[in-house]
Amino acid sequence: MKQQLLLVLLAGVLHASAQPPVTFTAEQDHENMMKQLGIKTLRPGPSGDEKAPNHANYDEALANPYPELPDLLTLDNGKKITTADQWWHQRRPEIVEDFEREVYGRVPKNVPKLTWSVRVTDREFIGFTPVIAKQLVGHVDNSSCPSIDVNINMTLVLPANAKGRVPLLMMFSRSALPAPAQPSAEDMEKINAAIKELLLQHHPELQQIFDKYPAYNPVNPLPGPTFGGPRVPGDPPAAQQLIADGWGYLLIDPNSIQADNGAGLTKGIIGLVNKGQPRKPDDWGALRAWAWGAARALDYLEASEPMVDTKHVGIEGVSRYGKAALVTLAFETRFAMGLIGSSGEGGAKLHRRNFGEAVESLTGGEYYWMAGNFLKYGASDAAGGAKTANDIPVDAHSLIALCAPRLCFISYGVPSEGDARWLDQQGSYMATVAAGAAYKLVGAKDIGVSNDYHTEKMPPVNTGLLDGQLAWRQHDGGHTDAPNVKYFIQWADKNIGHSR
């Protein structure tokens, strides 16, 4: 009896000590993190409006106030490394630790398990190619905090007639079936007859309308796949190019993993792990959470999809999802390749560049993408002193270097077509150049130039540097990687030995 009473009392104490989930606005959450870090004032970020008084800098003469990047091949103790073994066992772990502590945050050790279920399996067509499409939901165990429900949505599409295992590109995108199959005309007649019958049972007055319009049907089929018609200018959609080349693809919805806003940090997977409480300074931000979700999708492919060549799965994204794709490739080493589209600050752009988007843009605006500790580098008045981008122990070249020797394709468009100067294409090229030193050290090929980021010139638009495992191409389109998809597929096929 005494033991049972103690257990009841203990359960009551634990229940009473559990704090209810916090509901913060983004402003409140941001303020909470600043208080944790002892930050009184942050420098304001530059404006994207070139007419504003605080507009971003676009003068190359002023773009490199901190011209020296952290040396990829020098340990924290100042010792140079010269071998691949030293990279893997000494330098790379230092870089990972710096990124986890200061920039993107740590994935907690106690993340609950996730269970995938297939909701729909459909036989469809993409172009002329038959495919098998599945919609899946990954439910995260929320028994520790039932008020927070996390269900990850994704769609898997594979060529139906593949003769063997196929490579696959995972894309951060809304989860949707490509061309849902529709009932036959005969079946549609039965469905409409049943619907009319049900309607008349509750609304007999509708009989007059049905008599007046005898050909009317309440439900009409969606348009099916089109095999003819005029050719739309430009390349086919990415999904069609992948399937036609014998690849599969997977769409994973990042917002079903973690909301793309600061108010969502006490919800989603980050909030679930923290039981609805605010983050600590080195907790993960949304970019790392999205990468975690992509890794769980790869778990599913490895366990349940024998038609997928899981040794050759890539990750893709554009803009904020380009940042997430690069973070995924850097940290989740089972991914074999990445197509990183127009990723800007927090992605392939150098933090130390004073050009367009800046560190202060993220410490004040999209802070929730990053670890709380990242706010320190935008502080002008703080307990730890004022810090700038030059105090960050790593930079974008370090992130790209973590991908070595795996395939990493850095993609940008041109400002005249909408891939804004704000993204700093030049600064991203400099990061790619500098990252090549790590690729070379581990026996891979970089973009084929020296690693002197001070002097190497960005190649002309539509000139691909695609001869190595690290690649660069700036296309003549806008804020998209679509014009580079065909080049990515050709480049990846060559590197992984895939043919249709």
3-state SS, residue 394? coil
Please report the pLDDT score of residue 50 as a whole number: 84
3-state SS, residue 121? strand
- Angle value at C-alpha 49, between 46 and 53, nearest 5 degrees: 65
- All residues at 6 or more sequence positions from 50 whose CB lies less than 8 Å from its CB, including other chains: 56, 58
Question: Does 3.40.50.1820 match the CATH number of domain 60-179+238-496?
Answer: yes
Task: Tell whether pTM > 0.75.
Answer: yes
Kindly state the helix (H) or strand (E) to which residue 316 belongs, with its residue range: strand 308-318
Q: Please tell me the distance from the alpha carbon of residue 51 to that of residue 205, in angstroms, as a whole number.
A: 63
C-alpha 310 chain-centroid distance:
19
Q: Please tell me the distance from the alpha carbon of residue 55 to that of residue 355, in angstroms, as a whole number.
A: 10
Kindly state the helix (H) or strand (E) to which residue 41 belongs, with its residue range: strand 39-42
| Cβ 468 vs Cβ 446: under 8 Å | yes
| Cβ 104 vs Cβ 288: under 8 Å | yes
Q: Hunting for tokens 């993220």 — which residue is that?
A: 362
3-state helix, strand, coil in the chain (%, to 5): 40, 20, 45
* String of DSSP letters for 426-495: HHHHHHHHHHHHHHHHTT---SSS-S-TTTPPPPPTT--B-SSSEEEEE-SSSS-SGGGHHHHHHHHHHH
Q: Please tell me the distance from the alpha carbon of residue 435 to that of residue 426, in angstroms, as a whole number.
A: 14
Reduce the secondary structure of 318-378 to three states and give it as a string.
Answer: ECHHHHHHHHHHHHCCCCCEEEEECCCECCCECCCCCCCCCHHHHHHCCHHHCCHHHHHHH
The conformation of residue 497, written as its DSSP 8-state character, comes to T
Beta bridge partners of 157: 133, 249
Q: Return the closest-CA partner of residue 279 out of 268, 292, 294.
A: 268
Kindly state the helix (H) or strand (E) to which residue 42 belongs, with its residue range: strand 39-42
Q: Return the closest-CA partner of residue 430 out of 319, 349, 320, 325.
A: 349
CA 167 to each of CA 23, 201, 241, 357: distance values in angstroms, whole numbers, following the listed order: 42, 53, 13, 35
Q: Return the closest-CA partner of residue 435 out of 33, 55, 70.
A: 70
| Cβ 476 vs Cβ 462: under 8 Å | yes
Helix axes 92-102, 320-331, angle to 10 degrees: 140
Please report the pLDDT score of residue 11 as a whole number: 43
Could you report the per-residue pLDDT of 39-49, keeping only the tens digit for each? 999 999 999 88
Q: Return the closest-CA partner of residue 351 out of 390, 378, 313.
A: 390
Low-confidence ranges of the chain (pLDDT < 70): 1-18, 181-182, 184, 221-233
Q: Please tell me the distance from the alpha carbon of residue 429 to that of residue 141, in angstroms, as a whole number.
A: 42
Q: Please tell me the distance from the alpha carbon of residue 131 to that of residue 128, in angstroms, as a whole number.
A: 10
| Cβ 72 vs Cβ 91: under 8 Å | yes
